[in-house]
Chain A
């Protein structure tokens, strides 16, 4: 069964600290993995997208890693800011060659940054 599991479900950190969010998946055949940031009541915004051959990708203070062998990804946030408070969603796509594949969404990790 194709699934995407994220941990922790929620996380509270102090401003300026670093944190790491985890995403484990069982989606096959794997096409790509994305991390989205979703502020409360707003649409998700893409942070990174990684294919099978990429194992690290950065976007400012956000760094995503991908281990396709263990089917794990992490999102590391450096020097957190109050504006980082949001839900972070891991999305994995499965591809069937040239035909349209499927997207599998994690439930998200709710990050709260306190001053």
Chain B
């Protein structure tokens, strides 16, 4: 158990819908990272927040957005969902703003029908 929690574990929805994925970092960690892992694809970095502020952006679509709240939990919002958005979404956390050790959560499996 990494100490990072993600909810829900599974999510099934239809095209065009909007969903919110939630992540709670390890106690004491200030950075939260979001990743997407499609079937047979490697991990794709989406976005990083540090202490409530956006710090780095990767291959995140404009239909996707994220935020980190004062209690340091983070939410990833996915809108106008397409079939291709079906994937595992991982959250990771780390103590520092930089590229230190990251601890991954168990992931949320999103299925878009």
- Residues of A in contact with B (beta carbons under 8 Å apart): 31-32, 36, 41-46, 49, 89, 93, 95, 100-103, 105-108
A103 and B45 contacting across the interface, CB-CB below 8 Å: yes
Number of B residues near A (Cβ < 8 Å) is 25
- B-side contacts of A36, CB under 8 Å: 104
Q: Determine chain B's interface SS by DSSP, over half rule.
A: loop
Q: How far is the CA of A105 from the CA of B88 in the complex (A)?
A: 16
Q: Is B34 engaged at the interface, CB distance under 8 Å to the other chain?
A: no
Nearest CB in chain B: distance from A46 CB, A: 6
Decide: A89 near B43, CB < 8 A? Known: A41-B107, A43-B2, A43-B107. Answer: yes
B105 and A102 contacting across the interface, CB-CB below 8 Å: no
Decide: A43 near B105, CB < 8 A? Known: A31-B99, A32-B99, A95-B99. Answer: yes
Q: Is B84 engaged at the interface, CB distance under 8 Å to the other chain?
A: no
Q: Is B42 engaged at the interface, CB distance under 8 Å to the other chain?
A: yes
A100 and B97 contacting across the interface, CB-CB below 8 Å: yes
- B-side contacts of A93, CB under 8 Å: 99
- B-side contacts of A44, CB under 8 Å: 43, 90, 104
- B-side contacts of A107, CB under 8 Å: 41-42
Nearest CB in chain A: distance from B70 CB, A: 21
Pairs A-B, 6 closest by C-beta atoms: A43-B104, A93-B99, A107-B42, A105-B43, A105-B42, A44-B104
B106 and A100 contacting across the interface, CB-CB below 8 Å: no
- A-side contacts of B107, CB under 8 Å: 41-43
Q: How far is the CA of A108 from the CA of B43 in the complex (A)?
A: 9
| CB-CB nearest in chain A for B88 | A41
Q: How far is the CA of A106 from the CA of B37 in the complex (A)?
A: 12
The 25 listed contacts between A and B (C-beta, < 8 Å) are A36-B104, A41-B88, A41-B107, A42-B106, A43-B105, A43-B107, A44-B43, A44-B104, A46-B101, A46-B103, A95-B98, A95-B99, A100-B48, A100-B56, A100-B97, A100-B99, A101-B99, A102-B45, A102-B56, A105-B44, A105-B45, A106-B42, A107-B41, A107-B42, A108-B42
Q: How far is the CA of A89 from the CA of B43 in the complex (A)?
A: 9
Nearest CB in chain B: distance from A112 CB, A: 16
